[in-house]
């Protein structure tokens, strides 16, 4: 029993036995589905496995334990899935661990926990699961590193019968960040668009994932450079109204300023500009716009921009400050540079 990263957990259950009870810590729905599918595959070994779903907000630990001890009428094996475990106080979560005293050999109990958004509440919540990891396997899907995302994307692409160019993979990660569910949905869209074509290119990612967002980012950067806060906030809110997640917008804005920083250092050298264009897979149509914006900034100004990004990310992750407030404060501070 231990605390596992997602990829390590998959490797473990392929080689060893399942523990009677597993907790999945994190909210990404795609990785949750993957975890359930892999556990069912291991558990069933080709036999059908019934799934019984409960919500902790509507069910007590006693009800869950009773269901876990009840044999299925439809299949020899059963997965008992309990969502919203954060609704149980620590005492009830500890009662659920009582399943380990007399586990049903034909059933597997999986608890799903959504971490609180507040940093300090999340720490207390996580501490309970760290303690529980001494008795059960806990799968941490709350954060996925670049290596894991790289492997996951390649696996998803392979499953769809496609290949992905390295620069397309890098652009996809840069645009979306380490968000498995969003990346899965975007890859599904790209795959449908490509049809019989096998290679996912950076151009396809740029067109289908980033699309009109890129022009919006140019307009936003232009307004920020002109210190026009009202227009900057207007463009930002328009992008939110288009159902573009704040995390993705922050990632795209950061990417834009990275390009400006590197192009700013390359001004006067066509060879260096070509290298930057290739590195970021810049469409020639947009290069002139990037260069025009890069010329407005001094290197020190752009370094201050990244200091502001860092501070905004820290505030979002470590305080109760709403993302909306943190992002709008970021817009204000960027306008002052």
Which DSSP category does 103 fall into? Answer: -
Q: What is the tens place of the pLDDT at every residue in 65-124?
A: 999 988 877 778 899 999 999 999 999 999 999 999 999 999 999 999 999 877 788 888
Tell me which of 240 and 198 has the higher pLDDT: 198
Task: Look at residue 317 and give its three-state secondary structure.
Answer: helix
Cα–Cα distance between 217 and 168 in angstroms, integer?
20
319 pLDDT band (50/70/90 cuts)?
low
pLDDT, average across residues 297-302: 84
213-335 CATH fold: Zinc Finger, Delta Prime; domain 3 (1.20.272)
According to DSSP H, which parts of 70-205 are helical?
90-96, 119-132, 146-159, 166-176, 180-194, 202-205
Length of the chain: 337
Copy the structure tokens of residue 59: 């069910």
Backbone dihedral angles phi then psi of residue 301, each to the nearest 5 degrees: -65, -45
* Beta-sheet strands, E only, within the chain: 3-5, 21-25, 49-55, 77-83, 107-113, 137-140, 163-164, 199-200
> What are the boundaries of each domain within the chain?
3-140, 146-210, 213-335
DSSP 279-298: HTT--HHHHHHHHHHHTT--
Q: Residue 111's pLDDT is what?
A: 96
CATH code, residues 146-210? 1.10.8.60
- Give the residue-averaged pLDDT of 234-243: 81
Please name the residue ranges forming H helices in 206-283. 213-225, 229-241, 246-266, 270-279
Please write the tens of the pLDDT for every residue from 143-168: 887 788 888 898 889 888 999 998 88
Fold of 3-140: Rossmann fold (3.40.50)
Q: Distance between CA 301 and CA 290 in Å, rounded?
A: 16
Average pLDDT over every residue of 123-145: 91
Write down the mean pLDDT value for the chain: 86
The pTM assigned to this predicted structure is: 0.64
CA 2 from centre of chain: 23
pLDDT, mean of residues 288-304: 85
Model pLDDT, residue 206: 77
Place of tokens 């469409």: 283
**Averaged over 198-224, what is the pLDDT?**
80
Q: How far apart are CA 25 and CA 27, in angstroms?
A: 7
């Amino acid at each position: 029993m231990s605390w596992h990263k997602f990829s390590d957990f998959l490797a473990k259950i392929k080689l060893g036995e399942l523990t009677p009870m597993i907790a999945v810590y994190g909210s990404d729905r795609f990785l949750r589905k993957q975890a359930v599918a892999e556990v069912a595959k291991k558990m069933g070994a080709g036999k059908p496995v019934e799934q019984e779903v409960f919500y902790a907000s509507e069910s007590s630990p006693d009800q869950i334990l009773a269901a876990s001890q009840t044999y299925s009428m439809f299949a020899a094996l059963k997965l008992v899935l309990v969502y919203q475990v954060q609704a149980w106080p620590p005492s009830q979560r500890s009662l659920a661990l009582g399943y380990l005293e007399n586990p049903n050999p034909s059933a597997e109990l999986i608890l799903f926990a959504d971490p609180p958004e507040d940093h300090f509440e999340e720490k207390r919540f996580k501490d309970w699961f760290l303690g529980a990891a001494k008795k059960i396997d806990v799968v941490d899907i709350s954060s996925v590193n670049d290596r894991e995302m790289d492997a996951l994307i390649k696996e998803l692409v392979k499953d769809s019968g496609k290949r992905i160019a390295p620069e397309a993979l890098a652009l996809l990660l840069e645009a979306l960040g380490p968000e498995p569910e969003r990346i899965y949905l975007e890859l599904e869209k790209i795959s449908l668009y490509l049809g019989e074509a096998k290679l996912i290119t950076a151009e396809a990612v740029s067109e289908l994932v980033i699309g009109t967002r890129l022009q919006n980012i140019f307009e936003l950067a232009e307004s920020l450079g002109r210190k026009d806060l009202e227009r900057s906030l207007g463009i930002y809110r328009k992008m939110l109204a288009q159902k573009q997640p704040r995390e993705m917008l922050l990632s795209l804005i950061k990417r834009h300023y990275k390009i400006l920083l590197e192009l700013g250092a390359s001004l006067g050298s066509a060879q260096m500009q070509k290298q930057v264009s290739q590195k970021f897979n810049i469409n020639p149509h947009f290069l002139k716009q990037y260069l025009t914006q890069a010329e407005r900034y001094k290197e020190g100004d752009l370094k201050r921009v990244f200091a502001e990004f860092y501070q905004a990310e820290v505030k979002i992750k470590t305080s109760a400050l709403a993302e909306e407030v943190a992002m709008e404060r970021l817009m204000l501070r960027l306008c002052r540079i």
